[in-house]
Amino acid sequence: MVTSRSLVPDAPPAAPARPEPPRRRVPLWRRTVSAVVGLALVCAAVYVQTHVLTTDQRREPLTVSGGMHQELRTSHFSARLERVEFARSVRVKKKYGTEDATPDEVFLIAKVGLTAPRRPLRLTAHLVTADGLSFEPTDRVDLSATLGDKDIQPGWWRSGFYFFDIPADKVAGARVVVAEPATLFGTDFMPETAMDLGLDQAKARQMIDAAKDVYEVSG
Protein backbone atom coordinates (compact mmCIF):
# COMPACT_ATOMS: atom_id res chain seq x y z
CA MET A 1 0.00 0.00 0.00
CA VAL A 2 1.39 3.35 -1.05
CA THR A 3 0.74 6.38 1.21
CA SER A 4 0.94 9.92 -0.01
CA ARG A 5 2.67 12.63 1.96
CA SER A 6 1.01 16.05 2.41
CA LEU A 7 2.54 18.73 0.28
CA VAL A 8 1.83 21.31 3.06
CA PRO A 9 4.98 21.84 5.05
CA ASP A 10 4.87 21.39 8.78
CA ALA A 11 4.24 24.63 10.77
CA PRO A 12 7.43 26.14 12.14
CA PRO A 13 7.91 25.85 15.86
CA ALA A 14 6.50 28.79 17.92
CA ALA A 15 9.01 31.51 18.73
CA PRO A 16 9.90 31.75 22.38
CA ALA A 17 8.02 34.51 24.28
CA ARG A 18 9.98 37.76 24.50
CA PRO A 19 10.40 39.08 27.99
CA GLU A 20 8.54 42.33 28.78
CA PRO A 21 10.81 45.37 28.82
CA PRO A 22 11.32 46.77 32.28
CA ARG A 23 8.97 49.63 33.20
CA ARG A 24 10.60 53.03 33.19
CA ARG A 25 10.23 54.91 36.45
CA VAL A 26 8.97 58.48 36.11
CA PRO A 27 11.58 60.83 37.61
CA LEU A 28 10.56 62.53 40.84
CA TRP A 29 11.04 66.00 39.34
CA ARG A 30 8.61 65.19 36.54
CA ARG A 31 5.98 63.94 38.97
CA THR A 32 6.45 67.07 41.06
CA VAL A 33 6.02 69.35 38.03
CA SER A 34 2.86 67.49 37.02
CA ALA A 35 1.43 67.86 40.52
CA VAL A 36 2.18 71.60 40.60
CA VAL A 37 0.62 72.13 37.17
CA GLY A 38 -2.47 70.20 38.24
CA LEU A 39 -2.81 72.25 41.40
CA ALA A 40 -2.45 75.47 39.42
CA LEU A 41 -5.24 74.41 37.07
CA VAL A 42 -7.51 73.62 40.02
CA CYS A 43 -6.77 77.02 41.59
CA ALA A 44 -7.45 78.75 38.28
CA ALA A 45 -10.79 76.96 37.99
CA VAL A 46 -11.78 78.00 41.52
CA TYR A 47 -10.74 81.59 40.77
CA VAL A 48 -12.83 81.68 37.60
CA GLN A 49 -15.87 80.39 39.48
CA THR A 50 -15.58 82.80 42.42
CA HIS A 51 -13.83 85.93 41.13
CA VAL A 52 -14.25 86.42 37.40
CA LEU A 53 -17.29 88.42 36.47
CA THR A 54 -19.95 87.21 34.07
CA THR A 55 -20.68 89.09 30.84
CA ASP A 56 -23.62 90.86 32.50
CA GLN A 57 -21.52 91.80 35.52
CA ARG A 58 -18.81 93.27 33.31
CA ARG A 59 -21.37 95.67 31.90
CA GLU A 60 -21.83 97.11 35.42
CA PRO A 61 -19.69 100.07 36.53
CA LEU A 62 -16.37 98.91 38.00
CA THR A 63 -16.53 101.75 40.53
CA VAL A 64 -19.79 102.46 42.31
CA SER A 65 -19.68 105.97 43.79
CA GLY A 66 -21.77 107.68 46.43
CA GLY A 67 -21.78 109.72 49.60
CA MET A 68 -22.29 109.37 53.34
CA HIS A 69 -24.86 106.74 54.44
CA GLN A 70 -25.58 105.59 50.86
CA GLU A 71 -25.58 101.84 50.28
CA LEU A 72 -23.29 101.16 47.33
CA ARG A 73 -23.87 97.76 45.76
CA THR A 74 -21.47 95.79 43.58
CA SER A 75 -21.71 92.21 42.35
CA HIS A 76 -19.30 91.06 45.10
CA PHE A 77 -20.18 93.22 48.12
CA SER A 78 -22.05 96.28 49.38
CA ALA A 79 -20.62 99.15 51.42
CA ARG A 80 -21.77 102.31 53.16
CA LEU A 81 -19.83 105.09 54.83
CA GLU A 82 -21.38 105.50 58.28
CA ARG A 83 -19.19 108.11 59.96
CA VAL A 84 -15.98 110.14 59.61
CA GLU A 85 -14.00 111.38 62.62
CA PHE A 86 -10.55 112.72 63.41
CA ALA A 87 -8.21 112.02 66.32
CA ARG A 88 -4.76 113.01 67.50
CA SER A 89 -4.14 109.51 68.86
CA VAL A 90 -5.82 106.10 68.87
CA ARG A 91 -5.90 103.78 71.86
CA VAL A 92 -6.55 100.11 71.12
CA LYS A 93 -7.98 98.31 74.15
CA LYS A 94 -6.87 94.69 74.29
CA LYS A 95 -7.49 91.84 76.69
CA TYR A 96 -4.21 92.34 78.50
CA GLY A 97 -3.74 96.09 78.23
CA THR A 98 -3.83 98.99 75.77
CA GLU A 99 -1.76 100.16 72.83
CA ASP A 100 -1.51 103.81 71.81
CA ALA A 101 -0.80 105.10 68.31
CA THR A 102 -0.02 108.64 67.20
CA PRO A 103 -0.04 110.03 63.63
CA ASP A 104 2.34 112.37 61.86
CA GLU A 105 -0.50 114.91 61.70
CA VAL A 106 -3.98 113.53 62.29
CA PHE A 107 -5.81 110.20 62.07
CA LEU A 108 -8.80 110.16 59.73
CA ILE A 109 -11.16 107.45 61.01
CA ALA A 110 -13.73 106.09 58.57
CA LYS A 111 -16.46 103.87 60.01
CA VAL A 112 -17.72 101.64 57.20
CA GLY A 113 -20.47 99.03 57.00
CA LEU A 114 -19.95 96.00 54.74
CA THR A 115 -21.90 92.95 53.62
CA ALA A 116 -21.49 90.26 50.94
CA PRO A 117 -24.20 88.51 48.88
CA ARG A 118 -22.68 85.07 48.30
CA ARG A 119 -19.39 84.23 50.02
CA PRO A 120 -17.25 85.40 52.94
CA LEU A 121 -14.83 88.20 52.08
CA ARG A 122 -12.07 90.30 53.55
CA LEU A 123 -12.03 93.78 52.11
CA THR A 124 -9.39 96.46 52.17
CA ALA A 125 -9.63 100.20 51.73
CA HIS A 126 -7.53 103.14 50.65
CA LEU A 127 -8.07 106.86 50.74
CA VAL A 128 -7.90 108.82 47.48
CA THR A 129 -7.42 112.59 47.73
CA ALA A 130 -8.85 115.25 45.42
CA ASP A 131 -5.50 115.52 43.61
CA GLY A 132 -5.21 111.75 43.07
CA LEU A 133 -2.89 110.71 45.91
CA SER A 134 -3.61 107.30 47.45
CA PHE A 135 -3.13 106.49 51.15
CA GLU A 136 -3.20 102.93 52.49
CA PRO A 137 -4.59 102.32 56.01
CA THR A 138 -1.95 103.21 58.59
CA ASP A 139 0.06 100.39 60.15
CA ARG A 140 0.41 102.39 63.37
CA VAL A 141 -3.01 101.17 64.54
CA ASP A 142 -3.09 97.45 65.29
CA LEU A 143 -4.76 95.52 62.46
CA SER A 144 -7.01 93.70 64.96
CA ALA A 145 -8.88 96.99 65.54
CA THR A 146 -9.72 97.44 61.86
CA LEU A 147 -12.12 95.98 59.30
CA GLY A 148 -9.10 94.72 57.37
CA ASP A 149 -8.84 91.93 59.96
CA LYS A 150 -12.52 90.94 59.90
CA ASP A 151 -14.45 88.44 57.76
CA ILE A 152 -17.54 89.84 56.03
CA GLN A 153 -20.23 87.16 56.06
CA PRO A 154 -23.03 86.80 53.48
CA GLY A 155 -26.32 88.32 54.53
CA TRP A 156 -24.97 90.22 57.54
CA TRP A 157 -23.83 93.81 57.82
CA ARG A 158 -20.61 94.34 59.74
CA SER A 159 -19.38 97.78 60.81
CA GLY A 160 -15.84 98.70 61.66
CA PHE A 161 -13.01 101.15 61.14
CA TYR A 162 -10.29 102.04 58.69
CA PHE A 163 -7.60 104.40 60.02
CA PHE A 164 -5.60 106.73 57.78
CA ASP A 165 -2.61 108.89 58.70
CA ILE A 166 -3.10 111.79 56.29
CA PRO A 167 -1.90 115.41 56.00
CA ALA A 168 -4.60 117.83 57.09
CA ASP A 169 -4.46 119.74 53.79
CA LYS A 170 -5.35 116.57 51.84
CA VAL A 171 -8.65 115.83 53.59
CA ALA A 172 -10.99 118.07 51.57
CA GLY A 173 -12.49 116.24 48.61
CA ALA A 174 -11.11 112.84 49.66
CA ARG A 175 -13.00 109.58 49.27
CA VAL A 176 -12.68 106.10 50.80
CA VAL A 177 -12.37 103.32 48.22
CA VAL A 178 -13.21 99.76 49.32
CA ALA A 179 -12.29 96.69 47.25
CA GLU A 180 -11.05 93.12 47.52
CA PRO A 181 -7.31 92.73 48.08
CA ALA A 182 -5.17 92.25 44.97
CA THR A 183 -4.64 88.61 43.96
CA LEU A 184 -2.12 86.67 41.90
CA PHE A 185 -4.39 87.21 38.91
CA GLY A 186 -4.56 90.99 39.31
CA THR A 187 -7.58 93.21 39.88
CA ASP A 188 -8.88 93.83 36.34
CA PHE A 189 -12.68 94.08 36.25
CA MET A 190 -12.91 93.76 40.06
CA PRO A 191 -15.63 96.05 41.45
CA GLU A 192 -15.03 98.72 44.08
CA THR A 193 -16.96 101.37 45.95
CA ALA A 194 -15.83 105.00 46.25
CA MET A 195 -17.45 106.87 49.16
CA ASP A 196 -17.08 110.66 49.22
CA LEU A 197 -16.37 112.09 52.68
CA GLY A 198 -18.43 115.18 51.82
CA LEU A 199 -15.81 117.56 53.23
CA ASP A 200 -14.80 120.85 51.66
CA GLN A 201 -11.89 122.94 52.96
CA ALA A 202 -13.95 124.74 55.61
CA LYS A 203 -15.71 121.63 56.94
CA ALA A 204 -12.48 119.62 56.95
CA ARG A 205 -10.64 122.34 58.90
CA GLN A 206 -13.49 122.60 61.40
CA MET A 207 -13.53 118.82 62.05
CA ILE A 208 -9.73 118.57 62.33
CA ASP A 209 -9.63 121.45 64.84
CA ALA A 210 -12.24 119.58 66.90
CA ALA A 211 -10.38 116.23 66.67
CA LYS A 212 -10.44 114.03 69.75
CA ASP A 213 -7.23 113.83 71.74
CA VAL A 214 -7.70 110.05 72.23
CA TYR A 215 -9.98 107.77 70.19
CA GLU A 216 -10.56 104.42 71.90
CA VAL A 217 -11.40 101.21 70.04
CA SER A 218 -11.34 97.52 70.90
CA GLY A 219 -8.70 95.26 69.41
pLDDT digits (tens, 9 = 90+) for 43-80: 555 554 444 555 554 544 489 999 999 999 999 999 99
Q: How far apart are CA 136 and CA 13, in angstroms?
A: 86
- Please choose, from the candidates 136, 139, 138, the residue with its C-alpha nearest in 3D space to the C-alpha of residue 125: 136
Give the pLDDT band of residue 181 (cuts 50, 70, 90).
Answer: confident
25-48 burial, b at 16+ Cβ within 10 Å, e below that, comes to eeeeeeeeeeeeeeeeeeeeeeee
- Please choose, from the candidates 79, 77, 57, 78, the residue with its C-alpha nearest in 3D space to the C-alpha of residue 68: 79
- Read off the pLDDT of residues 9-43 as tens digits, 9 standing for 90 and up: 555 555 555 655 555 665 666 666 666 666 666 55
pLDDT at 120: 93
pLDDT at 59: 45
Strand order in the sheet with 215-218: 97-101, 90-94, 215-218
For the chain, state the CA radius of gyration.
33
Q: How far apart are CA 88 and CA 47, in angstroms?
A: 42
Query: What average pLDDT score do residues 168-182 get?
Result: 93
pLDDT at 1: 45
Q: What's this model's pTM, rounded to 2 decimal places?
A: 0.70
- Read off the pLDDT of residues 188-216 as tens digits, 9 standing for 90 and up: 567 999 999 999 999 999 999 999 999 99
